[in-house]
Chain A
Amino acid sequence: MPLLEVRDLRTSFHTRDGIVRAVDGISFDVEAGQTVGIVGESGSGKSVCCYSLLQLIPQPPGRIEGGTAKFGDLDLLQLSEAQMRKVRGKRISLIFQDPMTSLNPYLRISTQLIEPLLIHEGLSKSEALTRAIAELEAVGIPDPKSRIHSYPHEFSGGMRQRVMIAMALIARPEILIADEPTTALDVTIQRQVLDLIKTRQDDLGTAVIFITHDLAVVSEVCDYVNVMYAGRFVERAPVETLFARPRHAYTRALQRSIPAMQKKGEILYTIPGLPPNLANGLPGCAFASRCEAHEGDPPHAATRPALVELESTHWVQDCPGCLAVAVTTN
């Protein structure tokens, strides 16, 4: 029995331009202690998917149209706001891309860091402060006893992201959702933050849902990867399988477009065109107009293709066009 079991989650936004199906029927599991990746371009719906789980979608214009998210004996999508508040920050917590905007600049780090403990565990302020200092130490903030009383602007970007991680983990959640946690950071700081998430995860046994657009990061941190495109998963596989035997044309195109994979002087591979506009509803395969895998034969699916399990735990959208080209491992 997985820790979190998401089935057929559908979230849409009702806008003037029509109904945008940002998340259109996705299912995935998260096992205890596992790192599950969600990869995709901007606008593919990866953040909306995770925010839906915590009911952080502004409603209206957003609306969770259906699906279930079984978390123990709770269905996250059916919880009342009061019940949800007991889950958020306590059992499932979230770190955002930009540590500058997700800390309150007016409050000391100490005030912000002990808040989850005061709310969820009913500790006294001094007990909470001791825990908070220990947590800061665990995320590698030097001299936490005095630094805890600083304001966010006194920390560098990397340090702020460490504070965010400390804050997210202080109540020992079962699941940590990390939404592009290193995109705004330097490579060296990114390395430190990735390592830190990994060590804290090993220490605490937290499961992580890792949202990113960087395939290299995915290969370093994830156990299982879901590739998202136009609101749906197009391919789901354990990380080794995804890199060694990617089947869907979109996954292969993403891999080819990593600059580091290409020789100097060659023109970089780019995926032609733009992601489709989700407002109008997509009749067939969402990747059809951008797919270069083959010459129109076999054709792309005319109705939106279903995910099928090719081999154990390796799922792919069953569109004959996208699956056309045979792949070899080097």
Chain B
Amino acid sequence: MSYLELEDLTRHFVRREGWPIPRKTLVRAVDGVSLQIEKGEILGLVGESGCGKSTLSRLIMQLLVPTSGSVVLEGERLADLPPAEIRKRRRDFQMIFQDPYASLNPRMTVFSTLAEAILTRRPELARDRSALESAVAALMGRVGLDSRYIRKYPHEFSGGQRQRIAIARALGPEPKLILADEPVSALDVSIQSQILNLLLKLRDELGLTMIFISHDLSVVRYIADRIAVMDEGKIVEVGESDALFTSPQSEVTRTLLKAIPKIRYPVAVSG
């Protein structure tokens, strides 16, 4: 039994097009996805835009109800739980988004953003201000932010620092699974590396389980243990990262690999 299992997960949408009598077409956004993820594993999920990555992530996050199939976390079938229980389970799943400019509330200080996240798991801290403050400071330290900045607002930080705040917020509720949706695509190359290093460090320290969604295969190859390639709602290929790179089995994977811009010149190595 794996830590997280997706069992034949399916989500269809009905699209109504045309007027006055709408024609109904069925969109199979996620069409029978089965995946197993072990604790502490980073699974890369790649695919072109429109392949169903986002719908799949929303299904896992319990933000969408599957048409059929289910998400099983630690042997517990989430679809069978009553809605109130599902709400409680939401904090087990946290997301990191692509754009740290848009995903942080500009009117909340780092403290209030992170305190809110911590309180979902430890509501008893609400009565103990100093314990809450030290929990926030500890969280900031964990993601490499100086706790002197605890009273600052998101706009006072650089893009990379903002992404660190977003990561800290995701860690606040002590989640079992982190879903990172293109967390480095909006960042500069040098900042990208910092964030990737941070995610790997957190995985080692906290045993985080993570699904890393990206269209950039070179980044995914570096960070993920296994990669799942998605196309038209289905998983077309799953494999160890390096194996998938060296011997891609499906046409979709080959197309994605071919599309990566490559340095076309001999490159100097410096000390």
A187 close to chain B: CB less than 8 A: yes
A239 close to chain B: CB less than 8 A: yes
Q: What does the 1/0 interface line of A244-286 toward B look like (CB < 8 Å)?
A: 1110000011111111111010011111001000000000000
CA distance A264 to B158 in the complex (A): 27
Q: Once A and B bind, how many residue pairs between them come within 8 Å at the CB atom?
A: 131
User: Residue on A with the closest CB to B252?
Assistant: A188
Asked whether, in the complex, the Cβ of B215 is within 8 Å of the Cβ of A259, the reply is no
Q: Which residues of B contact A330 (CB under 8 A)?
A: 266-269
Binds B, one of A66-74, A115-123, A189-197: A189-197
Interface members, chain B 225-271 (any A CB < 8 Å):
241-242, 255-256, 258-271
Asked whether, in the complex, the Cβ of A215 is within 8 Å of the Cβ of B222, the reply is no
Q: Which residues of A contact B222 (CB under 8 A)?
A: 259-260, 262, 264, 268
Asked whether, in the complex, the Cβ of B258 is within 8 Å of the Cβ of A191, the reply is yes
B159 close to chain A: CB less than 8 A: yes
Asked whether, in the complex, the Cβ of A255 is within 8 Å of the Cβ of B259, the reply is no
Asked whether, in the complex, the Cβ of B270 is within 8 Å of the Cβ of A271, the reply is no
Q: What does the 1/0 interface line of A187-223 toward B look like (CB < 8 Å)?
A: 1111100100000000000000000011111011000
A328 close to chain B: CB less than 8 A: yes
Asked whether, in the complex, the Cβ of A190 is within 8 Å of the Cβ of B190, the reply is no
Asked whether, in the complex, the Cβ of A213 is within 8 Å of the Cβ of B189, the reply is yes
Pick 11 A–B contacts, CB within 8 A, sort by A.
A41-B190, A219-B261, A254-B189, A257-B190, A258-B263, A261-B267, A270-B197, A274-B158, A327-B268, A328-B268, A329-B268
CA distance A186 to B215 in the complex (A): 6
User: Residue on B with the closest CB to A213?
Assistant: B188
Asked whether, in the complex, the Cβ of A255 is within 8 Å of the Cβ of B197, the reply is no
Asked whether, in the complex, the Cβ of A329 is within 8 Å of the Cβ of B266, the reply is yes
Q: Which residues of A contact B267 (CB under 8 A)?
A: 243-244, 255, 261, 330
Asked whether, in the complex, the Cβ of A256 is within 8 Å of the Cβ of B270, the reply is yes
Contact of A255 (CB < 8 Å), options: B48, B218, B256, B268: B268
Known: A215-B263, A245-B268, A255-B268. 6 other contacts (CB 8 A): A190-B261, A257-B189, A257-B190, A257-B193, A258-B189, A269-B193
B8 close to chain A: CB less than 8 A: no
Query: Chain B interface: which size bin?
Result: 35 or more
* Given contact pairs A262-B222, A269-B193, A187 touches B215 in the complex (Cβ within 8 A): yes
Shortest beta-carbon distance from B236 to chain A in Å: 14
* Given contact pairs A157-B49, A190-B259, A243-B263, A252 touches B190 in the complex (Cβ within 8 A): no
Shortest beta-carbon distance from A255 to chain B in Å: 6
Shortest beta-carbon distance from B38 to chain A in Å: 18
A309 close to chain B: CB less than 8 A: no
* Given contact pairs A189-B49, A330-B268, A330-B269, A42 touches B261 in the complex (Cβ within 8 A): no
Q: Which residues of A contact B196 (CB under 8 A)?
A: 259, 268
Asked whether, in the complex, the Cβ of B219 is within 8 Å of the Cβ of A243, the reply is no
Asked whether, in the complex, the Cβ of B268 is within 8 Å of the Cβ of A246, the reply is yes
CA distance A264 to B200 in the complex (A): 11
Q: Which residues of A contact B197 (CB under 8 A)?
A: 267-268, 270
CA distance A214 to B185 in the complex (A): 11
Asked whether, in the complex, the Cβ of A271 is within 8 Å of the Cβ of B265, the reply is no
A240 close to chain B: CB less than 8 A: yes
Asked whether, in the complex, the Cβ of B218 is within 8 Å of the Cβ of A259, the reply is yes
Asked whether, in the complex, the Cβ of B268 is within 8 Å of the Cβ of A270, the reply is no
CA distance A246 to B144 in the complex (A): 31
A56 close to chain B: CB less than 8 A: no
Contact of B261 (CB < 8 Å), options: A213, A217, A328, A329: A217
* Given contact pairs A187-B217, A244-B267, A330-B266, A214 touches B260 in the complex (Cβ within 8 A): no
Asked whether, in the complex, the Cβ of B263 is within 8 Å of the Cβ of A216, the reply is yes
* Given contact pairs A188-B255, A239-B265, A246-B270, A260 touches B193 in the complex (Cβ within 8 A): no
CA distance A216 to B259 in the complex (A): 12
Shortest beta-carbon distance from B219 to chain A in Å: 5
Asked whether, in the complex, the Cβ of B265 is within 8 Å of the Cβ of A186, the reply is no
Asked whether, in the complex, the Cβ of A244 is within 8 Å of the Cβ of B189, the reply is no
Q: Which residues of B contact A42 (CB under 8 A)?
A: 159, 188
B133 close to chain A: CB less than 8 A: no
B221 close to chain A: CB less than 8 A: yes
User: Residue on A with the closest CB to B262?
Assistant: A216
B62 close to chain A: CB less than 8 A: no
Asked whether, in the complex, the Cβ of B190 is within 8 Å of the Cβ of A328, the reply is no
B41 close to chain A: CB less than 8 A: no
Asked whether, in the complex, the Cβ of B268 is within 8 Å of the Cβ of A214, the reply is no
CA distance A239 to B191 in the complex (A): 24
Shortest beta-carbon distance from B167 to chain A in Å: 16
Asked whether, in the complex, the Cβ of A244 is within 8 Å of the Cβ of B190, the reply is no
CA distance A306 to B270 in the complex (A): 23
A325 close to chain B: CB less than 8 A: yes
Q: Which residues of B contact A271 (CB under 8 A)?
A: 190
7 shortest A-B CB distances, which residue pairs?
A: A260-B218, A216-B261, A268-B193, A243-B265, A191-B259, A187-B259, A270-B193
Q: Which residues of B contact A194 (CB under 8 A)?
A: 261
